[in-house]
Structure 1
């Protein structure tokens, strides 16, 4: 994981050390709202802790990092698709935390997969296809959240599915053999038009921080759908709008 993502990290929060209970602690990610993810390694097992401080997070952005909601959604979605199993979740006056069991696989943003973008793109497409085909809209109690405040400007839905909600490159895990292994960061999961996921997944793939160019043709071939350029353009424009 590029160390730039950990810029601003100074020390491991005391709560994370308590959760680790002697396990080795490694910071692996820092989000744009100051939240940190740690890998805990010990006794042959791997766990992850997401720790999100409350300080400096505007109320309008809280739903982006709502770990209580994420724990609930992980537990629900885990009945249908491979996601991390929740071990613990809690909150105090300073921060919230979420502890999950590790999944065998690496983020699609890992150096190995950024050096092999075609394999990563196919795995990302396969994971979203599995999510969209497998997780039942009929029984989903959640509405996709990133789009909720912008629905009046969104296209008419093409096909409602249970969307990931933040289908950017790092949120797909890839197994040793290059196949899709699981999904992480489901705080914004919910029912929405499938293009709300597909447009942003392919957008993220093209960012310099990920693979640095468009792989739309390969992605949609792997997903099994013809690209809808008008919907893609519309959802990317909405994504870029300030909240």
Structure 2
């Protein structure tokens, strides 16, 4: 081979660049080569949902002698334990929870869970939805003038307790006869009312007619 041919081949190889070859497989992640695997090209690293890139950059350049950075790793996202629940608890209890690990909440007797019973470790490293609380729910005994108790819960009225009332004779109910105790310690729907059915009006009309009849008798008597 002539000296000229040697230099031409060397120049062509230099112009083509060094071939770094593919990087090792990235567990729980992906490696893309948008501009190839030769000098000045870059490899783009991404982790799957629930994993974070640790130990290196998310882009690695190909140099004249190979890739210029060590391959990082994809580590699972972790969540710290939820805060203690007053008048309740959760399980399982661990020092660290991994991505998509589930935690179940419960309350002591007499308390009601306000929120979601199950939460999971999210890709942001926090539990989602937000952990619940344990609340004491107790609705006061309904006071409905001119009404009488039909059936249902007796005090103390806890969460989802139901009661039913009806109006006494001569009164008409406005609203629902059945009520349910809600998380806000209030009855739902609103407590009904018992109003006069109008017998007083009828009596007034009858009384007026009697008065007119008396006047007519008196007129003809005179």
TM-score by length of 1: 0.19
Higher CA-based Rg:
2
Highest relative contact order (Cα 8 Å, sep 6+), 1 or 2? Answer: 1
More strand by share: 2
